[in-house]
Amino acid sequence: MSEFSPNSLMRTWICLLVMVFFGMLLAREFQDPTAPLGIALALLLLALAKARLVILDFLGLRSGPRPLRLGLLAWPAFFTLAAAAKALITAVLLAA
Amino acid sequence: MQDAVAGAAGEEEADTFILWVLIWSELAAFGVLIGAFLVASIVSIEEFAVARLHLTPGIAALNTLVLLTSGWQAAIAAGKGASTATRRRALVIAALLGFVFVVIKLYEYSKELRFAGEEAFQSFFELYFLLTGFHLVHVAFVGIVLLLLAWRPRPANVELATTLWHVIDLVWIVMFPILYLA
């Protein structure tokens, strides 16, 4: 259960919206499959940052049980890392 | 009296345990599908890169905004000091935004369906529809649960349902760049 005040939750929501808008701006550059790898990595980092805020603030795990918090943070971290590795492999193979 | 309190606390602990078992089984299922998508996109690099151009990331980004706003309302509903009226209002808004997500996603599907039949894009769209469809069913189902809960918002039930809602939100946040962008 979230122990955050409504104002704190609103701040988190605004941070998330800013990240989504920033991601949209980056994504416009990424429509081209040959776009720089850095953009893909930046988008994945943004996703990880959004996931972190949802877990810590919306789910209220900032003050929740540590194993649960770490376990849940590990899930998006694992898949964004896997996606970054895939983006790297794709960039290398498409360039070859 | 003490037995009754201890019994209620034990029951609540059991509910929370079952909830997290459910959540991890959901995360495992989505993880397998996302993993399959990543592997397939390495095996068929060019087909996936071209097929992805037929998606509409702008609509998906709009849906991200909708789902995050819904998650914000769900967090307000689950707040420790929230009144019944606040819980009720926040649950209704969260559920309605969930339904808006479903409508936008169906509209997006209608634009993408014509490309799904093309042989070169078949494996991309099979995985895409499986992954996003599985997620969409979760949004629709838990959205209905949130709406029903708004009728009698018992804090323990609200906490269970909104926790699941945030996890569905989390899955979308991770899926979005993997499917559409990176």
Q: How far is A61 from chain B (nearest CA, A)?
A: 11
Tell me what the mean pLDDT of segment B144-156 comes to.
Answer: 94
- Summarised one tens digit per residue, pLDDT across range B8-63 is 666 777 778 888 999 999 999 999 999 999 999 999 988 998 898 899 989 999 99
Determine the Cα–Cα distance for residues B68 and B22; give it in Å rounded to an integer.
Answer: 22
Residue pair B70/B165 in contact by the 8 Å Cβ criterion: yes
State the pLDDT at residue B17: 85
Amino acid at B109: Y
Contact residues on chain A for B174, CB-CB shorter than 8 A: 47, 51, 75-76, 79-80
Q: What is the pLDDT of residue B8?
A: 62
- Shortest CA distance from B159: residue in chain A: A1
Q: What is the pLDDT of residues A32-56, one digit of tens each?
A: 656 678 888 999 999 999 999 999 9
- Containing B52, the helix (H) or strand (E) segment is helix B45-52
* Minimum distance, in Å, between the CA of residue B178 and any CA atom of chain A: 6
Q: Which of A4, A48, A62, A86 to mutate to test the interface with B (most CBs of B within 10 A)?
A: A86
Q: Give tens-digit pLDDT for B72-110.
A: 999 999 998 899 999 999 999 999 999 999 999 999 999
The per-residue pLDDT for range A62-80, each reduced to its tens digit, is 988 899 899 999 999 999 9
With beta carbons under 8 A apart, name residues in chain B contacting A94. 45-46, 49
Going along chain B from its start, the domains and CATH numbers come out as 2-181 (1.20.120.80)
CA angle A17–A39–A9, rounded 5-degree value: 20
**Distance of alpha carbon B60 from the chain centroid:** 13
For chain A, give percent helix, strand, coil, nearest 5. Answer: 80, 0, 20
Out of A12, A76, A87, name the one closest to residue B170 (CB): A76
Q: Is the CB of B174 less than 8 angstroms away from the CB of A80?
A: yes
ipTM: 0.90
B132 sits in which H/E element? helix B122-151
What pLDDT was estimated at residue A20?
94
Distance of CA B77 to the CA centre of its chain: 17
Enumerate chain B positions whose Cβ falls within 8 A of a Cβ in A: 20, 27, 31, 34-35, 38, 41-42, 45-46, 49-50, 52-53, 57-58, 61, 64-65, 68-69, 71-72, 74-76, 78-80, 155, 159, 163, 166-167, 169-170, 173-174, 176-178, 180-182
